[in-house]
């Protein structure tokens, strides 16, 4: 019985020592690269909500230098970004996001369905030629965290 207690104490001490050294190593490790996040937007009624989430995200982490954000838009939501119909608030936000380095990707399939080109959209957009859902999967495979508010 005494041997068990001695053995158990030794194993416990080793575990505690290992845990302490792991915790110390974690606090001494260099900071990881900045977080990468992709926002998915397809619902027209959620355009302002998602744009607000993106701005809150940028503000919450201390600015655009602390996060990499992509916005992938497809379906009915893309109409809000047609330059001819976009309201001034959306135009300003998209301009600010573009300056902040947010990737603004418009689904190539939706663009065809809506009969628009990149020149018909607000400035700063790129085309997700293979489709919005394909672009979402590509970004996730590159380590982007997926958010669909």
Q: What is the pLDDT of residues 26-52, one digit of tens each?
A: 444 445 578 999 999 999 999 999 999
Calculate the average pLDDT of the chain.
87
What's the burial of 137, exposed, middle or buried (CB within 10 Å: 0-12/13-18/19+)? middle
> Are the beta carbons of 107 and 132 closer than 8 angstroms?
yes
Residue with tokens 């700063």: 124
Listed by start position, the domains of the chain span: 1-30, 35-147
Tokens (6 digits) for 142: 């590159």
Under DSSP, the state recorded for 115 is T
pLDDT of 33: 74
Residue 55 CA to residue 64 CA, distance in Å, equals 9
Residue 94 CA to residue 46 CA, distance in Å, equals 15
In the CATH scheme, what is the homologous superfamily, with its name and number, of domain 35-147? DsrEFH-like (3.40.1260.10)
Query: How do residues 73-94 score in pLDDT, each as one tens digit?
Result: 999 999 999 999 999 999 999 9
Residues contacting residue 7 through CB under 8 Å, at least 6 positions apart: none
Q: Which of the residue ranges 14-23, 98-107, 111-120 would you say has the lowest mean pLDDT? A: 14-23
Residue 94, SS3 per DSSP: helix
């Amino acid at each position: 019985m005494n041997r068990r207690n001695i053995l158990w104490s030794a194993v416990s001490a080793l575990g505690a020592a290992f845990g302490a050294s792991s915790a110390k190593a974690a606090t001494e490790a260099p900071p990881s690269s900045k977080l990468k996040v992709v926002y998915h937007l397809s619902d027209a009624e959620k355009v302002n909500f998602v744009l607000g989430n993106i701005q809150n995200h940028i503000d919450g982490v201390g600015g655009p230098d602390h996060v990499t954000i992509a916005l992938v838009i497809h379906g009915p939501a893309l109409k809000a970004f047609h330059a001819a119909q976009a309201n001034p608030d959306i135009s300003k936000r998209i301009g600010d996001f573009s300056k902040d380095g947010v990737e603004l990707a418009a689904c190539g399939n939706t663009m065809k369905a809506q009969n628009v080109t990149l020149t018909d959209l607000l400035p700063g957009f790129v085309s997700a030629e293979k489709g919005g859902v394909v672009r979402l999967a590509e970004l996730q495979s590159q380590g982007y965290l997926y958010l669909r508010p």
